[in-house]
Amino acid sequence: MARQFFVTGTDTGVGKTMLSALLCAALDAYYWKPIQTGTEQDSDSRTVAEIAELPPQRIIPEAYQFAPAVSPHLASRLAGNRIELSKIQLPAAARNSTLIVEGAGGVMVPINERELMVDLMRHLALPVLLAARSSLGTINHTLLSLAALRAGGVKVAGVVMIGKLNAENLEAIDHYGEVRVLGEIPWMAQLNRASLLEIFATRFDRGFFVPVAKRAAGS
């Protein structure tokens, strides 16, 4: 059965794109970022394609793109193009395939005058992976994000911690958040497909992400 996840984060810049690239490389997945802001500076789709070495057909075009690097609700208002959840549907090309969907910003980022990123997650009905920093402050940020996801009726698959390895913070999030920490991504001197695959093999719960039958076939 194809695995599909929505990747969100405790904050902007926490490492959602790096986690998305890692999963796309490790799971041979499609990548889709429904809402992209900041295209005048960069594109997460391009970043994922480069570091995960995904072929063009594995990158699903965005539903909405905006040039300014601001919150989606503001970017869409400036562009005069309101973001409509009804216009964001799981892409047909990846409907029965492994798919990684990346959100914009954190869980409570507004996307229009009424709806938040958590509403998009509920709309797409995919289990959520929460990217969290490993550093000081992460316990509070992560527990608040988990509370918001659960209050929003979203299924939480687990947490991935990003940054310098911190066993105490990992244990605290696992315990107080009542959630599985499914992986850790430490700082990497080189960010490329090979380094991402190495981290997945050594720092992730591969049994959660890769079905037994698939692992046996690849062994």
- The domains of the chain, with CATH numbers, are 4-218 (3.40.50.300)
Residue with tokens 């402050």: 137
| pLDDT tens, residue by residue, 100-139 | 999 999 999 999 999 999 999 999 999 999 999 999 999 9
Q: Taking each helix axis from N to C terminus, what angle separates 16-27 and 193-203, rounded to the nearest 10 degrees? A: 90
Q: Taking each helix axis from N to C terminus, what angle separates 138-151 and 167-176, rounded to the nearest 10 degrees? A: 30
Report whether pLDDT(1) > 80.
Answer: no
User: What is the separation, in whole angstroms, between the first and last Cα of the chain?
Assistant: 19
Q: Name the band, by pLDDT with cuts 50, 70 and 90, for residue 218.
A: low
Report whether pLDDT(191) > 70.
Answer: yes
Report whether pLDDT(51) > 90.
Answer: yes
Q: What integer best gives the mean pLDDT of the chain? A: 93
Mean pLDDT of 35-42: 90
What SS3 state is found at 172? helix
| Catalytic residue of the set 16, 33, 155, 164 | 33
Q: Residue 184: is it exposed, middle or buried by C-beta count within 10 angstroms (0-12/13-18/19+)?
A: buried
**Is 164 a known active-site residue?**
no
What is the per-residue pLDDT for 96? 87
* Edge-first strand listing for the sheet containing 30-32: 59-60, 30-32, 99-106, 4-9, 128-133, 156-162, 181-185
**Tell me, what DSSP letter sits at residue 110?**
B
What is the per-residue pLDDT for 2? 66
E strand or H helix at 121 = helix 117-124
pTM of the full structure: 0.94
Report whether pLDDT(47) > 60.
Answer: yes
Q: Give CA–CA dist 120/83, Å, rounded.
A: 11
What is the per-residue pLDDT for 192? 95
User: Contact 108/130 with Cβ under 8 angstroms?
Assistant: no
What is the per-residue pLDDT for 213? 42
97-110 as b/e, with b when 16 or more CB fall inside 10 Å?
Answer: ebbbbbbbbbbebb
Mean pLDDT of 65-76: 95
| pLDDT cut 70: percent of the chain above it | 95
